[in-house]
A = this chain, B = another copy of it.
């Protein structure tokens, strides 16, 4: 490594000296710059070091939990330690939902046998009575099917078992085609007279790990407990029902909602030298679900944003416009951080772009770009090939920057390779051993290059 490090340092020195002597980088230099960014990202391995620090010292960090508070402190200290400017908290009130110790389900066979299936309460679910909910099960694939069943669903546990379509090339499209069951399943189950909602986990993988996630209730109907079941459990239950087995299901949950508590968005900057009032937001969300470590969702995105600033700073690059890393609070079950950030009055400031990474720490493949910024970003496509980005595609952004985008700020989303994302998403499998250090680092490099190009060229 020593010889090649020497070469890097030499190259870096030559490039940075030319920058330091006041020459504005021109587009024809962006290829060399992109390569320097890649070498720093991969060579330092600092993205992985940061993520490891987060998951080891904080762990998972659901809004309002002790982990959430630790994560806010971690983000602030980390950005301060790296020498970012204007590191600060912007307080936000966030929901506090606590899973509790009990979440279990048993298939009760006619012969008295109790067969465990793996479940996880959905975020926001009420608890069951202490003795659980015990009832027959009605399996449906859609709300339409449920509604067509009439009185047959009364007093039953409604089992939503439409899988994510594994045949789709894009896993997020599969997710989009199934996730309404999780979001609205409890409401639909209650309208149908059901006593609980059980939802097949959102993954194309067949395994015994339940995947939690957000859900909602409606004021117009009673609340019923809602849980995700592992895909293995879903297949088992479905097979028994298809055989016409006379089974019951018992579900116990001890989840509880509490009053809102204070959390915060965490901000840090590289101040612009020429137009500091023009701000590029680059971020991920600091909160996670309370399973696993939130390594891909969205520890990776937080690291991408912090690391983008660190790399630029480390290379001695001072942007014309301000690049602001934002660790958003409460994406998973409220979006309070993104909403509060966009609602905040910021006199004298203008947001010219918002970049989000919230699709995991896998190898970067594309950026999705909202209109009307698409054309300009597309013109930079050749530079992005240096960081492993082969596509600039129309439409993009992220949940946290959604509120900014609705105020007219162009939104950009990093699109990493997506095939493994839902293997881990919202489950105990989302741990750092599922993150490849090189793939994570290249995501940081891609984000650094995007931020730099916008800072220098505008959007």
Partner of A42, one of B42, B45, B166, B386: B166
Copies of this subunit: 2
Q: Is the CB of B438 within 8 A of A419?
A: yes
A167 touches B439 (CB 8 A): no
Q: How far is the CA of A417 from the CA of B388 in the complex (A)?
A: 10
Q: What are 10 A-B contacts with C-beta separation under 8 Å?
A: A1-B166, A3-B141, A38-B169, A43-B166, A204-B438, A363-B417, A365-B390, A419-B436, A419-B439, A423-B436
Please give me the 3 A-B residue pairs with the lowest Cβ-Cβ distance, nearest first: A390-B390, A419-B438, A43-B167
Taking the complex as formed, is A182 at the interface, i.e. its CB lies under 8 A from any CB of chain B?
Answer: no
Indicate whether A163 sits within 8 Å of B363 (C-beta atoms), given known contacts A38-B169, A169-B38, A439-B420.
Answer: no
Interface residues of A in 22-51 (CB under 8 A from B): 35, 38-39, 42-43, 45
Residue interface mask A154-175, B partner, CB < 8 A = 1: 0000000011011111010000
Residues of B within 8 Å of A442, CB to CB, are 169, 419
CA distance A4 to B142 in the complex (A): 12
> Which residues does chain B contribute within 8 Å of A420, judged by CB atoms?
436, 438-439
Q: Which residues of A contact B (CB under 8 A)?
A: 1-4, 8, 35, 38-39, 42-43, 45, 141, 162-163, 165-169, 171, 204-205, 363, 365, 386-388, 390-391, 417, 419-420, 423, 436-439, 442
Nearest CB on B from A101, distance (A): 31
> Could you say which residues of chain B place their CB within 8 Å of the CB of A42?
166-169
A8: nearest chain-B partner, CB-CB: B167
Is B1 a contact partner of A163 (Cβ separation < 8 A)? Answer: yes
Nearest neighbor of A45 in chain B, beta-carbon distance: B166
Q: Which residue of B lies closest to A423 (CB)?
A: B436
Given A141-B2, A141-B3, A390-B390, A167-B423 contact (CB < 8 Å): no
